């Protein structure tokens, strides 16, 4: 059954956090946390867009940031409240209920911008609520990863459409929604933004046993490999930082 993204997350909200307790996802989140510490060094006003159950809102709250978590899923927001997120707002990325220039930074982690229904409108709204030189810090699904997976499954009927639309279904066998998979070059050409950083997350594949036994070595290796744009096509996800241009 095809759902709208927030309908899907309403259904899995209570199980969501437990789905990301594997060594692979813990490594993934540790990498993101280290990237955030590079770009958000001083407390400021942050919009956690599509922040779900509040992982990154809590990460920043604990460091003294003023954070507002926005998500269209009522159930995910309820879990975030229970976990201690102070400010939550039910809204979609395409229609943010905040004045222009309200935030110094916008987070859109968890591939939120791959899941919005109108990405052009979402980027426009993010640009509007950022101050000049404000940062958008986000992750998105990687076009080349999805393409490789389709090739490995011999799903040539899907590939033709995917090459034209960059859109595919994600979710479970029972419920799914659409995801737009970005190429790194898509992020370099967004109106009103300039690129600060683009990295791959999960550039190499490791077993859970390898990660458990060699976490520090793999963490350092992935941090180094993440910066190499020559191999970013191998990454499971793309992490990027954009700066709002003055006058945009």
What are the tens digits of pLDDT across the range 186-230? 998 899 999 999 999 999 999 999 999 999 999 999 999 999 989
* Residue 92 pLDDT > 90: yes
Contact 85, 54 (CB under 8 A): yes
Mean pLDDT of the chain: 96
At 173 the pLDDT is: 81
At 1 the pLDDT is: 87
Rounded to an integer, the average pLDDT of 92-96 is 98
Distances (CA, A) of 64 to 59, 77, 98, 127: 9, 21, 21, 24
Q: For 84-93, 168-177, 237-246, which range has the lowest pLDDT when averaged over its residues? A: 168-177
Rounded to an integer, the average pLDDT of 49-73 is 98
Local structure of residue 50 (DSSP, 8 states): T
C-alpha span between 145 and 151 (Å, rounded): 10
What are the tens digits of pLDDT across the range 134-183? 999 999 999 999 999 999 999 999 999 999 999 999 988 889 999 999 99
Strand partners, 168: 179
* Residue 248 pLDDT > 90: no
At 106 the pLDDT is: 98
At 247 the pLDDT is: 86
């Amino acid at each position: 059954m095809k759902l709208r993204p927030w309908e899907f997350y309403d259904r899995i909200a209570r199980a969501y956090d437990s789905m990301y307790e594997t060594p692979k996802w813990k490594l993934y989140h540790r990498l993101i946390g280290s990237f955030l510490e590079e770009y958000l060094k001083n407390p400021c006003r942050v919009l956690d867009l599509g922040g779900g159950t509040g992982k990154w809102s809590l990460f920043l709250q604990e460091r003294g940031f003023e954070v507002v978590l926005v998500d269209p899923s009522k159930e995910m927001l309820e879990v975030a409240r229970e976990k201690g997120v102070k400010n939550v707002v039910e809204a979609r990325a395409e229609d943010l209920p905040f004045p222009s220039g309200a935030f110094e930074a916008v987070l859109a982690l968890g591939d939120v911008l791959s899941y919005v229904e109108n990405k052009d409108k979402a980027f426009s709204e993010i640009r509007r609520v950022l101050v000049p030189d404000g940062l958008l810090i986000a992750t998105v699904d990687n076009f080349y990863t999805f393409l490789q997976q389709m090739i490995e499954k011999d799903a040539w009927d899907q590939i033709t459409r995917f090459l034209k639309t960059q859109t595919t279904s994600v979710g479970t066998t029972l419920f799914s929604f659409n995801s737009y998979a970005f190429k790194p070059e898509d992020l370099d050409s967004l109106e009103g933004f300039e690129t600060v950083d683009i990295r791959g997350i999960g550039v190499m594949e490791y077993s859970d046993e390898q990660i458990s036994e060699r976490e520090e070595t793999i963490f350092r290796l992935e941090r180094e490999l993440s910066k190499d744009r020559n191999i970013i096509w191998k990454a499971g996800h793309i992490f990027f930082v954009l700066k709002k241009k003055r006058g945009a």
